[in-house]
Every structure is written in structure tokens, then in C-alpha cells.
Amino acid sequence: MTTEENRPERRRITLTGISSRAWEHPADRGALTALRELRGFDDVVKAFFGMWNERGFRLQYLAGSIRVDHRQYPRVYQRFTEAAATLDVAELPDLYVTQSPMINGQAIGIDKPFIVITTAAVEKLEDDELRALLGHEIGHVRSGHAVYKTIMMILTRWAANLSWLPVGALALRAIIAAMLEWWRKAELSADRAGLLAGQDPAASTRLLMKLAGGGDLSQIDTAAFLEQAAEYESGGDLRDSIHKFGLTAWSTHPVPVARASELRKWVDSGEYARILSGDYPRRDSDGDASVTEDVKAAADSYRETFTNSQDPLVGLLRKLGGGASDLAGSAARGARDWASNAGRRRDDNPPA
């Protein structure tokens, strides 16, 4: 195995002024743009949920974890500053290391989000892999994911508390299912941010391999891992499709092999190279983002996934012919129509 000591340091390009729209998956960006268009929505959420919950979360980690800076976990702090500098993030969120045997990281909070990674991440990840993980979490913060994830966590608790009330529980479960689908796309966005922060596709893949259970890279192989991803996406029969649905329907994260496959597809699409060449949206143009275009891109993304999926169940639906195609087309047209109407309403009612 190539060790960290003899692996040459890569020169990273600073992505000056980069907007989070550059790395956001179309389905994630469409949902975020629509939510941001609800004038004052974020302020209401912050006022209602952030008053006590965020303080409690922050105090929990302040009391029982290590806050990272140049004195505590200086290696982690250096990788953190490098990832932030590459993504042109001037103000670093607070970063904590908490005790856990599992490699993990999360962005928490509403008013002032902070990042938490585990001791396993510190111990088991090499510098370039750690940089990718920290870039992933910075991507969550920059996209505003922490706000909506916190809402989802609270709604999940409400659903559990209202389980005795069938109607209320069903309504909340439908909302949570939709938010979980969005959150899985948000994870794909953050994977792209992690890659842009580290600018090392191999390291991003190794990070996902270690998340899947490969702490010792001398015992595993990148090509074989990507073969697993291909087998997961296309192998099996209808029974496997049903099992795969059960694996993901109520999960916040896509499975690691699917994340590796999606990241590879994004690199192969040429979008990663275009961003490194300087062709990306800037933060100073975020105000010009079009909800119509972003929701249309989300609908097109889902339709493309349906068309190109190798999953046996999706393949069967395609073989059914016009019905399934019409369903996918109607969904895409409906989303575009909704976006168009939303765009007209926004134009008719400009902000004061």
C-alpha cells in the first residue's frame, strides 16, 4: 500500500468565490432553491427550532468532546483549514472530535452550524481522506443543509411521539419520507464538495471504502469496490430490487457503493474538470438563481435516472411501455409547470 509519507502532496486549486450551487446535485439544488424562495422561511425555522435545540446540541459537544484548534488536534485543524481555503470559506465553523469507533461526521445546528467528526475518523483516515471528509461537512454547512436536517430530526421525533394518532403519524411519515429522499441527494452533493476540497478522486473513493468497512486499505481494492457498486446497481432480480428499496427508503444516506458510483459518474461527466478549470457559479450570483430552472433540472435528473437505471424493477416498469414512460414524463412536466408558476408568482410579487 502507498503510505501517506511517500505519497506526493497534490497542489490544490483555490476555487475563489465558488457557490454551493456548483456541487449541489440537481435534485438537492431544486429543493433548496424552492425552500429559499419562501421569503422568511429560514428566519421562522431558526426562531422556532433554534432557540433551545441548537444550544443543547452545542453544549453537549462543548461538555463531552474536544474542540479542534491549533492546540487541540492540530493535524485535524490543518486539514480543516486546507479544505476550507480550497472552497474559499473564510469563516471556519466550530469543529469537534467526539469519541466513537465508527468513522463519521455531521453538520449540526441552525443559527451557527458546527461540525463533529469521530475519533475513528481521526485515527483511521489519512490526510487526503480526512480532508475529503471535512470538505464534505463544509459542503453541508455552505449549502444550508444543517438547517433542514435539524428540521427533519425534529419531525422524526414528532412522528414517534404521534405514533398513537394514525392520521397525524401518516402525514408526518409522508413528509419525513420526502425529506429523507432529499437528504440522500444532499449527501451526494456533499460528496462532491469533499472531492472539490481535496481534489483527489482516489482519496474520496478510499474514504467511502473505509466508511463501508475497509479500515485496512492493504486488504481491499478500489477496482473491486467499484465492481461491487456495479453489481449492486444492476444485479439480482425483482426480489433484490425490493430489498434495495427497504435498505434506502428510511435512510438518510445512500449506501457507500452507490455513493462511490455516483461520484465516479460526476467525474466522468466532465463537471468536476470544468469546475477546476474555473467554470463554476459564483456566490455573488446566487441571487439570480432561478427556481424554475433548478426544479426543471431536478425533474430531468429523476427522469434520466429512471431511463438509465439498471435496476430490475425499474427495467420492468420501462418494459411496460407507455404507462411507465407517461408516468415519468407527467411527473417531470408537473414539476416544470409548478416551477414555472412559482417563478411567475415570484416575478409578480418582488421582495420589498
What is the grid cell recorded at 160?
414517534
Instruction: Quickly tell me which residue has 435539524 as its cell.
Output: 150
Q: Which residues contact 251 (CB under 8 A, 6 or more apart)?
A: 180, 184
82 annotated active-site = no
Annotated active-site residue in 24, 129, 137, 262: 137
- The strand pairing partners of 108, in sequence order, are 114
Q: What is the DSSP string of 254-296?
A: --HHHHHHHHHHHHHTTHHHHHHTT-S-BGGGGGG--HHHHHH
**Residue 160, number of CB atoms within 10 A of its CB:** 10
In the three-class reduction of DSSP (H, G, I as helix; E, B as strand; rest coil), residue 302 is classed as: helix
Task: Give the separation between CA 254 and CA 215, rounded to whole angstroms.
Answer: 20
Task: Compute the half-sphere exposure of residue 10: CA atoms within 13 Å on the CB side of its CA.
Answer: 20
Q: Which residues are marked as active site?
A: 137
